[in-house]
Amino acid sequence: MSTTNDRFSGPGPDQIYSDFLTKGVFSLPQCKDCHEFHFFPRVVCPHCGSFNLEWKELSGKGEVYSTTTVRRKPERGGNYNVCHVTLEEGPRLMSRVEGVDPLDVKIGDPVSAVINNDEDSPFIVFVPAQGA
Amino acid sequence: MSHELRGSSAVVGVGLAGCGEAHGRAPLDILAEATHNALEDAGLKLSDVDGIFTGSSYHFMPALSTAEYLGIKPRFSDSSMVGGSSFVAHTLNAAMAIKTGQCDVALICYGSNQRTAGGKLATMSEQQIYEAPYKPRYPISSYALAAARHMHQYGTTREQMADVAVAARQWAQLNPAAFARDDLTRQDVLNSRMISDPLSLLDCCLVTDGGGAVIMVSSERAKDFPNKPVYVLGTGTAHWHRQITQMPDLTTTAAVDAGKRAFAMAGLTKDDVDVVELYDAFTINTILFLEDLGFCAKGEGGAFVENGNIAPGGSLPVNTNGGGLSCVHPGMYGIFILIEAIQQLRGGCGERQVDNPEVALVNGNGGVLSSQVTTILGTEAVL
Ligand SMILES: [Zn+2]
């Protein structure tokens, strides 16, 4: 039995996700069988077990599902937000909301994804949604 | 017909060691002392142990390191690692091993020097690449997110969570072995330093040293031991996620499934339970687990724990040793809830003794509300 095929050759889902972000695209695998998206990206759909996946660009729209302010002394950089955001397409991820006081981030707030390039590899943060 | 594992094995010895501060001791030194105490309690020798069940944040192959240290050559070993719930899960594996003749004397054991070794959570955990950029404080931010969502969805308040800490402290004040025994009020908890909203310092468990050991044998043999046997009536395990972002609903834990499985094996319901020992790493845990195990409806946990209802003199005795919040918490707390439940069922817990309990429920938690393991223990009266 062969242990490799096209499905399992080339970069894995972590690398593909990161490569998309580097190109400025926020994308996740969607299942071709049950049509659910998932996060974190995998080679198998955690909703139905299908290996039949394709990468789709996301709207970047989401809603704060839960939020906490991690308390830190001002001299160490001050308080910061850690939250869970539920994306319009379904999956939930950890992130932070920027551009507002961490204590003002509320569950249910509409937010928009932004790619943060401040560190070695890009990652998703959120800002309050325009017009909200 | 009852489940073939129901009551098939029993605990005949328990031991604690180094709870609080054990200066100069390594994790296995503490574990060995707890094992010594459990063997003495059971009237057994180390050479009688032929099954070992252990977990550790310090040893990559915990059963191997532990058996080597103790000088035993087990026929059966199990290092199943489901975080702090591991030792509760070990009761199921030990019951199966004993029932199928894989071992006769099972030793479940743990030791940690987390406090005197520096107070940091010992971990061999892998880096979480999808969480690391956001710098959540581990593990408190995960529990804080669950608490915030529970407050949003059900109107649970910080005052209600504070009452969990106050109840734990009141039990600890009845337990001479508890680490934190000073008076504590709801206001003290609310005024303590905020760490990760809505959880403040006194919503968090202690960081102590400590070790525990439990000896299990078949129920046929159990009557020949010096102590009143405590029977393992049912254990259920469940996990739905590893990291907090994968938890399907931040207000509902897999204890829903673990509890159902344990009650089904035991052939009992929550109304049969006389004493409850829950893994209270944070105050929100107690509220979530009381709901998920069916002691109150989902969303009503806050109201259930208010005003001393789970404190000494309340309607349901919960965390009678003082819990991870006020008694002991060396990183993986599961073995201590098991031991407290066993001691309550034996009687002789002094001032904190619950009135003639026959059934105790233990719920272990591992990871970040991830692994849930429920064990139901009972005296001969309910066998
Ligand atoms: Zn699918």
CATH code at B275?
A: 3.40.47.10
Residues B15 and B85 in one domain: yes
In a domain, B4, yes or no: no
How many CA atoms does the CB half-sphere of B139 hold within 13 Å? Answer: 26
CA distance B192 to chain A (A): 13
Q: Answer whether residue B56 is part of any domain.
A: yes
Q: Do B99 and B140 lie in a common domain?
A: no
Q: pLDDT digit string (tens) for A25-70? A: 999 999 999 999 999 999 999 999 999 999 999 999 999 999 999 9
Contact criterion met (CB < 8 Å) for A84 and B194: no
Residues of chain B numbered 228-247 and touching chain A (CB < 8 Å)? 244-245
**Residue B344: closest CA among B326, B321, B312, B325:** B321
At A3 the pLDDT is 55
Q: What is the pLDDT of residue A52?
A: 95
Which distant-in-sequence residues (6+ apart) come within 8 Å of B201 by Cβ?
A: B192, B193, B194, B195
- Cα dist from A114 to A21, A99, A117, B77, whole Å: 10, 11, 10, 50
Give residue B84's pLDDT band: very low, low, confident or very high (50, 70, 90): very high
Same domain flag for B154 and B215: no
Q: What is the pLDDT of residue A107?
A: 98
B134 close to A (CB below 8 A): yes
Write the CA distances from B233 to A6, A122, B258, B296, B359, integer angstroms: 50, 51, 14, 22, 9
Tokens of A132: 């909200």
Q: What is the pLDDT of residue A18?
A: 96
The Cα diameter of chain B in Å comes to 57
Residues B31 and B156 in one domain: no
Question: By 3-state DSSP, what share of chain A in percent is helix, strand and coil, each rounded to 5?
Answer: 15, 35, 50
Which pLDDT band, with edges at 50, 70 and 90, does B186 fall under? very high
Of the partner residues A82, A103, A107, the one whose CB lies closest to the CB of residue B134: A82
The per-residue pLDDT for range B45-62, each reduced to its tens digit, is: 999 999 999 999 999 999
Nearest Cα of chain B lies from the Cα of A95 at a distance, in angstroms, of: 6
- B225 with B310, same domain: the answer is no
Are residues B187 and B311 both part of a single domain? Answer: yes
Mean local confidence (pLDDT), B98-115: 97
Q: In sequence order, what are the residues at sequence separation of 6 or more whose Cβ sits closer than 8 angstroms to the Cβ of residue B65? A: B28, B56, B59
- Mean pLDDT for A86-95 is 98
Neighbours of B46 (CB within 10 A): 14
Cite the DSSP H helix spans in chain A: 13-22
Strand pairing category for B51-54 and B106-112: parallel
Q: What is the pLDDT of residue A2?
A: 55
Q: If you ran DSSP here, which 8-state letter would residue B318 be given?
A: B
Contacts of B155 (CB under 8 A, 6+ apart): B299, B302
pLDDT at B35: 98
- Examine the pLDDT at A6 and tell me if it is beyond 70: no
pLDDT of residue B124: 80
Quickly state the pLDDT bin for B122 (edges 50, 70, 90). confident
3-state secondary structure of B49: coil
Q: How much distance in Å is there from the Cα of A42 to the middle of ligand 1?
A: 11
Please name the residue of chain A whose CA is at the shortest distance from the CA of residue B249.
A65
- Look at residues B11, B57, B367, B52 and name the one whose alpha carbon lies nearest to residue B209: B57
Q: Which of A14, A64, A68, A118 is the best mutation test for B, with the most CBs of B within 10 A? A: A68
* Domains, chain A, with CATH or none: 11-57 (no CATH), 61-128 (2.40.50)
Q: What is the pLDDT of residues B208-218, one digit of tens each?
A: 999 999 999 99
Domain of B70 in residue numbering reads as 9-119+209-229
Q: So what's the pLDDT on residue B121?
A: 67
- What is the ipTM metric for this complex? 0.95
Residue B313 domain-assigned (yes or no): yes
Instruction: Tell me the mean pLDDT in the region B171-197.
Output: 98
Contact B380/B348 with Cβ under 8 angstroms?
no
Mean pLDDT, to the nearest integer, of B117-122? 74
How many domains are contained in chain B? 2
**Does B337 lie in the same domain as B250?**
yes
Q: Answer yes or no: is B61 within a domain.
A: yes
Q: Is the pLDDT of residue B181 over 80?
A: yes
Q: What share of chain B is helix, strand, coil (3-state, %, to 5)?
A: 40, 20, 40
Do A13 and A19 meet the contact criterion of CB atoms below 8 Å apart?
A: no
- B368 located within any domain: yes
| pLDDT at A130 (0 to 100) | 83
Q: Is B94's pLDDT higher than 80?
A: yes
Q: For residues B212 and B177, is the Cβ–Cβ distance under 8 A?
A: no
Domain identity same for B254 and B371: yes
Structure tokens at A21: 């972000």
Q: Is residue B374 part of a domain?
A: yes
User: Mean pLDDT in chain B?
Assistant: 97
Q: What mean pLDDT comes out for the span B250-267?
A: 98
The reply to whether B276 and B198 lie within a common domain is yes
Residue B126: inside a domain:
no
Q: Which helix (H) or strand (E) holds B95?
A: helix B86-99
pLDDT digits (tens, 9 = 90+) for A99-108: 999 999 999 9
The residue with greater pLDDT, B128 or A91, is A91
3-state SS, residue A19: helix
Please check whether residues B257 and B115 belong to one and the same domain: no
Same domain? For B141 and B197 the reply is: yes
Please indicate, yes or no, whether residues B259 and B370 belong to a single structural domain of this protein.
Answer: yes
B131 to chain A, closest Cα gap in Å: 6
B317 in a domain, yes or no? yes
